[in-house]
Chain A
Amino acid sequence: MSAPSLRTLALSAAALLIGGYALAFFWAPLEAEGFIQKIFYLHVPLAIVALLGFVVAAIHAIRHLRTEDPIHDARSYVSIHLSVIFGTGALITGALWAKGQWGVWWEWREPTLVSFLIIFLLYATYYPLRYSIPERDRQARYASVFAITAGAFVPLNFLAVRLAEPFIHPRTFSSTGGLPGEMLVAFLVCLAGMALLWVSLVRFELGAKGASGDLAKLRRALLPSEAPPPAPRRAVAPAAVSTMSADQGKGS
């Protein structure tokens, strides 16, 4: 499988994001609720991409458990890592939107926002879980089990929180289906750009992990006298680095 290079990905992400936000600000009509509604083009793509990232992490986790190939664990880890970052962005923009539209920073009656917070809190425990298991193989396996469990939890949680709401609150966008044409186009471009940004960042982080793995290996090979190599910045990064660099060596 020849995936597009990181440069292509990053450039298309940048082009789509710039284009998407240009469309959103200068072409899409202004909604009745005013300018604050434009945050929709940032908030919703962030949230959707973060949730899809959690699903992708669960799929990689399943593949990791099946194949025991650490590369899948690394992909699962990086997916969750970036989705947590995107999720932080979604929560902050959601709070800003709530303040602008409803006058409060947090709205407990908005089920999507609350579901998202619960999922975010759950995935935030991925890090303490990961870093509290010292053996690498076990750490990778347990992290995968967590990613699968949490992946199954995401839809259940949305269902339960949604049912708990008596729907008294005005829902701005029940689904993208209700959007007027121009807004839908602008939104979809922003969403595609955000997704590409996520993919580029995942690729970038995997590449960086591979490079630091290579560096550690070279260090060990060239400086055998240097007693234990300097600990990586992250105490317990996923164990994929060595396999990954081997893959890259074959590829180029």
Chain B
Amino acid sequence: MDAYRALLGKDLRVELRTLRSLPAMALFAVTIFVVFRFGLDRTGLEGELAAGVLVVTLLFASILAINRLFVAERDEGGFELVRLAPVDRTVLFAAKASALLAYLVVLELVAVPVFALFFLDSAAALPPLVPVLLLADIGLALIGTLISTIATMSTARDLLAPLILLPLMVPLVIAAAGAAEPVLRAGGPEYERFGTWLAVLGLYDGVFALVGYAVFDYLLED
């Protein structure tokens, strides 16, 4: 637990001091909203379109952080230090996934209000989006950490992560957009099959938490 706290604290401190990922992610998300505004030629969004734009934008922005997640470890030898330390290596997985989750939450604190400001008539849809986005973030953080580790060790690096991640994230996009679609309808939030989609998101999170826990050790071996 101490190791987890130390690693997570290190990541968050580094991010706060260097601001390598977060501002870029937020800026990227806002820019994508603007691009969508002109690409779709719409000033307001609702229902399916709103859910799709929001989820896909957050997904793309998350890839920026996922690409950078292990850059410091790779360049400064952090992997060796964790390998040498007398702690369970899964701690690194848990700490990195938590750090990524924190980035995603901060990103959404900025991006979702901007989305509402740009495209939505009222902010009534925002509270019910919180559990949806949170569950989606957990899934993104888990699978993102796993794939980021793999991509970091390959020579293709930044190229590989999105390539593997996007198909893996399709169920997440389906479920998050499915839950967000009725919530973002023009007439105010509805909750059609809301629970089902939250359950799918939860299942996804559970499965990849287990997979990550089971296989992460092998990624750090040398």
Contacts and interface: CB of A to CB of B under 8 A. Distances in A.
Interface stretch (B12-20, B25-33, B100-108, B146-154): B146-154
Nearest to A143: B150
Interface of A: 65, 118-119, 121-122, 125, 128-129, 132-134, 138, 141-142, 144-146, 148-150, 152-153, 156-157, 159-161, 163-164
Contact of B221 (A128, A141, A163): A141
Interface string B161-174: 00110111011001
B155 interface: yes
Interface of B: 143, 146, 150, 153-156, 159-160, 163-164, 166-168, 170-171, 174-175, 178, 196-197, 200, 203-204, 207-208, 210-211, 214-215, 218-219, 221-222
A83 to B, nearest CB: 15
Contacts of B208: 149, 152
Contacts of B221: 141
A149 B203 contact: no
A146 B156 CA distance: 15
B155 A132 contact: yes
A101 to B, nearest CB: 25
Contacts of B203: 156, 159
Nearest to A147: B215
Contacts of B197: 163
Contacts of B214: 148
A149 B146 contact: yes
B168 A153 contact: yes
B215 A157 contact: no
Given A128-B160, A129-B164, A164 B178 contact: yes
Contact of B150 (A121, A146, A153): A146
Contact of B174 (A65, A148, A164): A164
B154 A133 contact: yes
Contacts of A65: 215, 218
B204 A142 contact: no
A138 B153 contact: yes
Contact of A128 (B156, B211, B219): B156
Contacts of B155: 132-134
B153 A122 contact: no
Contacts of A144: 215, 218
A128 B215 contact: no
